[in-house]
Chains A and B, each alone.
Chain A
Amino acid sequence: MVKTPTDEQLLADHLAGRPDAFELVVRRHSTELFRFVLRFTGNSVAAEDVVQETFLQVHQSAVSFDPQRRFKPWLFTIGANKARDWLRTRSRRSELPLDAQIDGDGEGGERSFRDLLMSDEADPGGDMEVEERRRIVRGAVEEVPLMLREVLVLAYYHRIPYKDVAEILHIPVGTVKSRLHAAVGYFAKVYRERTSESHGDPDAWASRDGDDSARGRGQ
């Protein structure tokens, strides 16, 4: 049986001159990294650019990679930093709202920026209710403060183990858990405000202190 090489082995192979090793790394991680960055930025074009910049950075810095560390948290650390840079750059630019009118005579037939955008969502398959729900959830997640949202995206949507999230964000594991807890609570509150009917009980994720020592359960 052929054993699949680890990311760390592939990076070492790349540095040793094996031509297709880095390509395998890119093919292995680009889709997951794209989905992660897309949830961060909310913009598929920007997400593809950020993913490309991330792999270029990894390629340039490959010689400095510590082989004792694991590759994936390193990759996502770089990806998260690039995504934050993109968000910062965007916030410095003056921007028009997506529904700002860009042409038309004011008597119907106007188009907005939103009409020009490709959808960043999965194909709704024609189910309007599902699509509407997805839109509300996306809006509610995007309202979660960035510091909490990055934990939510990594730990919840990408199921990345807490210790890897801690490594990616350079925070203690206890802080990852408390931020994830707070992020879910924040989301539930916003989601409830945005939907008229009751969806769950946000108080089920009542706020609590940030003392990580309060959680003594070992894992």
Chain B
Amino acid sequence: MRDDEIMPLDDWILDDHLDQLSEVDRGRLHALMRDDPEFAARHRRCQSVLEPLDAWTTAPPSAGMVEKILDAIAEEEDAAPVGRDPNFATGSGGYSGQPRFSLRDLIAVAAVIAFFFGVLGPSMTVVRERSRRARCAANLGEIGRGLAFYAQANSGALPLYAAGQGAIPTSFLPVSAGVSPPTATYAPNRRHLFLLVRFRLVRDPQVFACPSDGEPIIPPGRAAGALDDWVERGRCSYDSINASGPVPAFSYRSSQPYMADANPMFVGGRFHRIDPGVTNSRNHRRGAGQNVLFLDGSADWHTTPNVGLKGDNIWQAGSLMEYEGTETQQSADDTFLVP
């Protein structure tokens, strides 16, 4: 049996175990088991992995659960009968078909609307920005789930795309945590993250666009599966740990940052010494702060960049204030996020 045949056959074994095979495929599988001793042995190994799963049985619900549910529904029915809206009852005093508004009614409504716009307009801007921050954190959370999935399939390693490996990798790179890929030539940092799009490990590529900053990640008419990099550098709103240096492994126990809103030291992909007055990412309004994704998969809002291990500044390599293009993390505890 060739190696490249193993994966689909494993799927067959799992599908057979779950009674999800068609009759034809089941016949083919059982014929293989009969005729190919190597496959039969593999089948037994797979079954021995699945067999412990069946040990987890669960207790039934309590005897009164259904009655409790039905009581709750009955209470709800009494409070507001479903499907019957009393405002739409016909007959005397009910809905008569044609709405009637006087000019005075319309002016009053317009005045109330104008008042609310005047009073609430500025605060609505704040509310909108807060909403964008929340959606941005949700984006990073979704990326965190994709990273967990990638790491699970790569012995804990985080996405690493090695240039010179061929145009588009057809599978995850077999790179273990802390081990350099086969070539020493690294791709631009954000290209590593594109692997999550390329292999559909995130539900929607648009999660790489901060709602306060980003453009459409995949332009109309382009398919993510046919690409191996962002169409334009600026379309990914987030920066991640500099993959040219030591990169930690994914760990549900680590509180080290992995990714965040864009590093303000880089403008248009080029490094600029930071203005001492600007310390937070410029993705969000007035540089109020940034969302940060940590290696344990959690993502939240911080108003300071000093959220690395031991209060490390995530925009700097160690305490260096310059970047010549070769500086990376200065130690295992250091985090340096770059485009």
Contact = CB atoms under 8 A, between A and B. Distances in A.
Q: Which of B6, B22, B49, B72 has the most CB of A within 10 A?
A: B49
Interface string B31-74: 00000000000100110111111011111111001101110110
B181 to A, nearest CB: 16
Interface string A39-69: 1000010011001100110011011000000
B57 A199 contact: no
A147 B25 CA distance: 28
Nearest to B10: A205
Interface stretch (B146-154, B230-238, B312-320, B329-337): B146-154
Contacts of B62: 44, 48
A117 interface: no
B73 A22 contact: yes
Nearest to B155: A207
Contacts of B170: 209, 211
A10 interface: no
B322 interface: no
Contact of A177 (B11, B50, B59): B11
Contact of A171 (B7, B21, B203): B203
A180 to B, nearest CB: 7
B25 to A, nearest CB: 7
B200 A212 contact: yes
B58 A35 contact: yes
Main secondary structure of the interface of B (DSSP, over half): helix
A80 B41 CA distance: 37
Contact of B57 (A34, A134, A177): A134
A123 B45 CA distance: 30
Nearest to A42: B58
29 contacts: A26-B69, A26-B70, A35-B58, A35-B60, A47-B61, A55-B69, A55-B73, A56-B72, A59-B76, A59-B82, A60-B76, A130-B55, A137-B52, A137-B56, A145-B152, A147-B148, A161-B20, A171-B203, A177-B11, A181-B11, A182-B149, A184-B50, A200-B49, A201-B48, A208-B153, A208-B171, A210-B172, A215-B7, A215-B11
